[in-house]
Structure formats: structure tokens, C-alpha cells
Amino acid sequence: MGRHGTLKSVSRLKNNTVELLREHELMQCIEDLCNSKAEEFRMYGYENVTGEQIWACVSENYRRGWPRLNRLVNDIMSLKANRFMNWLMLSVYKE
């Protein structure tokens, strides 16, 4: 926190430019989030859930293009086990 109790910006560089993630860095962050969500589901007893399955479930809604980053992160972190299991059952029937 700054001197007056306000938060300092950590994403700004000199000349007020915003630091952007490279594509591979962004994809690594998304993979880490999906693996984290898969680990959460495994703690609930869904033993064989993978990060790849989480991503397949969430990204199914992105046929028209990628959403803003905050929505993408929210979609991963707010995924509920019942929605995931419904997606998994439908994907099994499709195959």
C-alpha cells in the first residue's frame, strides 16, 4: 500500500505502458488454473478429473472467440462439479 492507504499499480511500466503476457505465458496460466480446478474436484472425490477436461468443458462456450480474460478466469474458477459431470456425460454420449 502507498503512503495514503491506496493500492499502487503493479502492471504499469515506464511511459504508462501496460505489461502484456506473451501467448505461451497466458496459456501456462490458464493451464495452471485448470489443473487447480481439477485438483479441487479430486479433493471432492472426483478422482480422475484432469486439467485438460476442465479446459474442454469451459472452452466449449468459446466457439465464437475468446472472452475477456476476467471472464475466462471466472468461468474456470466458478465451474461447479455438477455442470462438469453433465458435460462429461454428454461428451461420452457424443463419442
> Taking the CB of residue 84, how many other CB atoms lie within 10 A of it?
19
| % the chain with pLDDT above 70 | 80
Rounded distance between C-alpha atoms, residue 62 and residue 16, angstroms: 32
Rounded distance between C-alpha atoms, residue 47 and residue 42, angstroms: 5
Where do runs of H (alpha helix) occur along 1-95?
A: 23-43, 51-59, 69-77, 81-94
How do residues 5-28 score in pLDDT, each as one tens digit?
A: 555 544 444 555 666 778 888 899
pTM: 0.76
Can you give the pLDDT at residue 94?
84
How do residues 34-44 score in pLDDT, each as one tens digit?
A: 999 999 999 99
